[in-house]
Each structure stands twice: as structure tokens, then as C-alpha cells.
Structure 1
């Protein structure tokens, strides 16, 4: 049995190669600051990358919210992550919440965000850092930083425009308006909207389908999908050739081919 990393404000499970991380500070609406959730998320991503028994990571929230993002009371009091002068505040961001986008961008397995309720500010950005988002009908999304007189300091402006395009991302960011799950699907933010009762089962069904694929090839494919966003085609094809050579020499490839041949023989 794989040892799970110790977490403080989140819950972590592993079953059938699917890890589920549940943000567990309902009292704070799962705010990322003013809690230990930043450390818990980063710890989980590092564990996933080093654990060969994990093929997919699902992230969701306990209670009524996915994540409220920043702790507004701390902002009002200029305390916690928001204390200090310009240099001190910038350093807190680099050593604090900005660890999340760097960690999420480096996750080697598919990440599915099961958005159970409001995903606001940095909580919205966390959802956008996943590869796929499935939303409950109760989910709401808002890039609300300007409503508080601040900017998206956790990388949200980088992630969202790559997800839905510059114009749509610009409108949501500069107006700070909140969209419901249906509009989020129309905008391309979420892949699917389901009832609250169906949310986790739907996310787990998708995760288990992905987790049933050969694990090493799955991780290589995720890397290729990420790298393709920033590489020229010729260089990308060279990398594909190398990764394909690695895949052809893995035992899981021959096992998968033999399973396919057995299936064909039964038809």
C-alpha cells in the first residue's frame, strides 16, 4: 500500500490509480490563503509525480465551495499573506500562492477539477490550472480580483486566455463578473455540467478511464500536450519520435498490443 503524504487542510485518497484531493476548509470556503491549502496542494503534486501508482489526479472541494481564493479578512487586516510593504508582499506571493501554478503546471498525470461550488479569484484560477473541468450545477466562476482593487497575482491571466482566448478572458477579468456553470460551459471553461450528486461519480468515471491506459505512455502524452503549446512543429515532431521510441520499448506497449489482438480474435 502506497504511503500518502501527510496533509493539514486537505484530504487525499488513492484507489484504482486515481488520487482524489479534497480541499477541506469549508469554514473558510476553502480559501487558499489563511490556511495550509497551498502547502497541501504543492505536497500532493510532488507526491503524484513521484508515485508510479498514480495515473490521474482529481481535485474537488468539501462543503459548498470549490475555493474562495484569497482570504478577504486577511486582505482587510493587511495580515498573513497580504502583510508588509511592496517588496515584502511580493516575496510572500512568490513564496506562497505562486507556488501553486508552478506545481500544477508540472503535474505529470492528467488533472481533473471537479468543481462542486463557487470557484472565485484564485479558486477559479486553480480550476483553470487543471487539464479538464467538470462542474456541478451549483458551480460559479469569477475572476474577481479587480473587484477588490488587486490583479490576478497567482497567474490567472496567463492560464485563462490560453483556455478560452484573449478576448473572452479579457472581458471576464476586466469586468470581474461571475458566470454560472451553464455559461462557463458555453465559454469553454468547463467540459461538462452535471447535477451535484453526479459530479464526483462523473469525474471519477473519466479519471478511471484515463487511469486504465498504460501509465508510462499516459505521462508521456500529458508532457507532449503541454510542450506542444510552446514548441515549433518540427522540433515537436523530433520529440514525438524520441517519446515514441521510448514507448515502443516499454513492456506496457506489448501488453496493450496483445490485449488488442486478443479482443480482435474474439470478434
Structure 2
């Protein structure tokens, strides 16, 4: 057990085995400045290696989830002839991608509690979560096309996997502000709840998911994550190894005993 890092633009809170990561630049609609992106790398690396956590919620402070990249930073880089904007953006993208990869390395359920606009890289961050629950006043926007920029942050990787390639491309080309209700209809989010109830509902959902066997959750995430990249033969081999290894765990033994005893099992990740 280690102490969460102290950060300026993010807040990590751990209550028991539930962690909450809050993007904390509310005055800037939680836009991704270079500092926030750097701290996101620190936060996701810490969360990925913290064994006590059984579920993670990601949300934003204030009225937005995340407005995407900090447009003021882009503008400053474009107006200053001493700044190589392409090199700067490339470095920022590399840092953001490192954070996204670490986020996907987290072996517990990751719930995105989308409390407001999720645009550009903020939309990408939401897509990187395992489950998305949206407030009824939230919306999603690809946004990159509005400034003539190429999609980033994993958007073109995750979006086709969530809603299918054809719908993903349509959404990217039309670039709407997609209301939460429409996002629910296309399967982009799993639930839409009143804004005032969002965090309570997300914590309830996270607590329930955190009671699952850690080994089961880890393998379910891992197997689904690579399912579209494998042949059926390769994938069934992974499943075979997974179930064989899992049945030798203490959690599986407890689960079988509880099943025959008509009781709810307790899983400890052993």
C-alpha cells in the first residue's frame, strides 16, 4: 500500500478499495494542459500498480468531464516562431498515449463518470474506460475536425470497437455534440442518470463490480481487449490457459464452495 501522489491538476482519492481520479482544472473545463497530461502519466502509472484497488472511477471537477487539449496552449505554440508546434504536439501526444496505455493496463473495472462535455482528447479518455455512465446533461464531441487536427488519444482505436467502424467514421466526419441520450442509444454509454445522482450511482456500480474475483476481472478485460486482434485458434488458446490457471486459485475454490452452499462468495484475489 502506497500513498497516492500529490498532484496539481488531478486528484486521486482512495476510500477502502475504491479509487477516484478527478481531472481538476474546472476553470478551464479540465482541458489537457502539458502539466495535466504529465500528471495523468503519473496517476495512471500509480493506479496500475496499486494492488489494494478493486475499482476506479474517472470524472471531472466542475461543469465538464474534459474539454480536450488546451486550445490556448496550441495557439501560443502557433504564434511563437521560436516554438516548433509539431514537435511540441508530438511530445504531448506521446505522453498522453503513455497514460492511456497505463490506464488500459489497470486490471480492475474502470468507470468513466461523464459529468459534462467530453470533447477531443476528453472523449478519447472516456472511451478508454471500461464502462461509461453519463450525466443527463453530458455530451460527447470528437472535436478534432473543428480545428483541422487529426484524431488522437486513442479515439480511432477505441471508437470503432465500441460502436462499430461505420458508425465511428460517421461520427468522426459529422463531428456533432452528441447528447447523452443519443450516446446511450448507440451504445457509447451504458447508462444516463440525473447529474446530481451521477457520482452516487458510479460509486454504487464500482462497489458492486469491485466484489468480483480480481482474477476473473483481470482475465475478462485482457481477453476482450485482444479478441479483435487474434484468430479464433489463438484466442481459444488464451481462454484455455486462463480458465486452467484460474481454477487453481483460492478465489475459484471459494466460489465453488459458496455455490454449493447457496452463499455469496468473497473474493480476495488469491
TM-score for both structures, normalised by structure 2? 0.89
Secondary structure of the residue aligned to 1:193 is strand
Q: Does 1:112 align with 2:114?
A: no
Counterpart residue number, 2:15: 15
Gaps of 5+ in 2: 265-270
Q: Which shifted more, 220-229 or 120-129?
A: 220-229
Counterpart residue number, 1:31: 31
Q: What RMSD in Å do the two structures reach over aligned CA positions? A: 2.2
Following the alignment from structure 1 to structure 2, what is the Cα–Cα distance between the partners of residues 187 and 158? 17
Counterpart residue number, 1:54: 53
Counterpart residue number, 1:194: 193
CA offsets 1:77-126 (integer angstroms, 9 cap, x no match):
2269xx84365245323433232332233222221100000001110111
Counterpart residue number, 2:267: none
Following the alignment from structure 1 to structure 2, what is the Cα–Cα distance between the partners of residues 212 and 228? 25
Counterpart residue number, 1:179: 178
**Contact 1:135 1:190 (8 Å CA) reproduced:** yes
CA offsets 1:196-233 (integer angstroms, 9 cap, x no match):
11111111111111110122222122111212221111
**Contact 1:97 1:154 (8 Å CA) reproduced:** yes
Secondary structure of the residue aligned to 1:229 is helix
Change beyond 3 A, Cα 1:3–1:223? same
CA offsets 1:149-197 (integer angstroms, 9 cap, x no match):
1111322122112211122211221222111111111121111100011
Q: Does 1:260 align with 2:238?
A: no
**Contact 1:16 1:211 (8 Å CA) reproduced:** no
Deviation of the 1:131 alpha carbon: 1.0
**Contact 1:38 1:99 (8 Å CA) reproduced:** no
Change beyond 3 A, Cα 1:84–1:108? farther
Secondary structure of the residue aligned to 1:63 is coil
Following the alignment from structure 2 to structure 1, what is the Cα–Cα distance between the partners of residues 166 and 234? 29
Following the alignment from structure 2 to structure 1, what is the Cα–Cα distance between the partners of residues 241 and 31? 42
Following the alignment from structure 1 to structure 2, what is the Cα–Cα distance between the partners of residues 110 and 194? 19
Counterpart residue number, 1:45: 44
Deviation of the 1:254 alpha carbon: 1.3
Gaps of 5+ in 1: none
TM-score for both structures, normalised by structure 1? 0.90
**Contact 1:26 1:62 (8 Å CA) reproduced:** yes
What is the number of equivalent residue pairs in this alignment? 262
Q: After TM superposition, what 4+ stretches of structure 1 lie above 3 angstroms from structure 2?
A: 83-87
**Contact 1:26 1:63 (8 Å CA) reproduced:** yes
Matches within 5 A, 1:188-267: 188-263=187-262
Following the alignment from structure 1 to structure 2, what is the Cα–Cα distance between the partners of residues 118 and 130? 16
Counterpart residue number, 2:268: none
Q: Which shifted more, 137-146 or 9-18?
A: 9-18
**Contact 1:69 1:122 (8 Å CA) reproduced:** yes
Following the alignment from structure 1 to structure 2, what is the Cα–Cα distance between the partners of residues 94 and 122? 10
**Contact 1:26 1:65 (8 Å CA) reproduced:** yes
Q: Which shifted more, 119-128 or 247-256?
A: 247-256
Following the alignment from structure 1 to structure 2, what is the Cα–Cα distance between the partners of residues 76 and 87? 12
